[in-house]
Amino acid sequence: MIETLEKLSLEESLNFLANNHPNKVVFSTSLGQEDQVITDAIFKNNINIKVFTLDTGRLFQETYELIDRTRSRYKKNIEIYFPNTEKVQQLTTNKGLNSFYESVENRKECCFIRKIEPLKRALAGAEVWITGLRAEQSENRHDMKIWEWDEGNNVWKFNPLIHWTYEDVLKYISANKVPDNPLHRKGFISIGCQPCTRAIGPEEHPRAGRWWWEESKKECGLHA
């Protein structure tokens, strides 16, 4: 499968999987530039792949606006999954609104409630999960393959941009006039929840702005 997918273009590979796993292919978008590339390929080619996003309740306003701009541009729906209300209430009541600053464990707990649990609901019944991961984004992603089994979610994971460079992404966005987040022009390369993301300097790693107060692998657990 890996050899087959690596020979295909982005559009061809998405169509290939949609045809071989009818109604069982889903794409999770965080509205980042990589994800907007894949969304563009799916929507403008009317490929039968469900596109969804996770609203943690703490996203940037610019991200919410981009969701609406994307829906308007392509006249397609993006399904939105929210965290379990009771779990969020318990977390914020017992530990406060910003407990994630206190320890890596607390931050991972918040990520689990706001992102990982909703993701598992979104992936229920799917056979293929498409992501916008790129190898150069982090050490954790460096050795990921274009096609791999995700044991934790019991699904095949397809990473069509895994070999793309950031320059490849920017070229695609420019050539296809893909809408993206204006925060990218303000130093926000990787954008997550507002309190957990900051702009980075020109010499900093692309993931340095995520959970900037801690020393960690800069992952929330979605792509362990």
Q: Pick the closest to residue 41 from 18, 68, 65 (CA basis).
A: 18
CB 43, CB 11: distance < 8 Å = no
CB 40 within 8 A of CB 49: no
The residues assigned a catalytic role are 220
**Residue whose tokens read 């978008």:** 29
E strand or H helix at 188 = none
What is each CA distance from 82 to 85, 86, 129, in whole angstroms? 8, 12, 18
Count the alpha carbons within 13 Å of 43 in the hemisphere toward its beta carbon. 21
| CA–CA distance, 80 with 103 (Å, rounded to integer) | 29
The answer to whether the CB of 140 falls within 8 A of the CB of 219 is yes
Q: Which two tokens stand for residue 21?
A: 């796993």
Q: How many residues appear in the chain? A: 224
Integer Cα distance of 194 and 192 in angstroms: 6
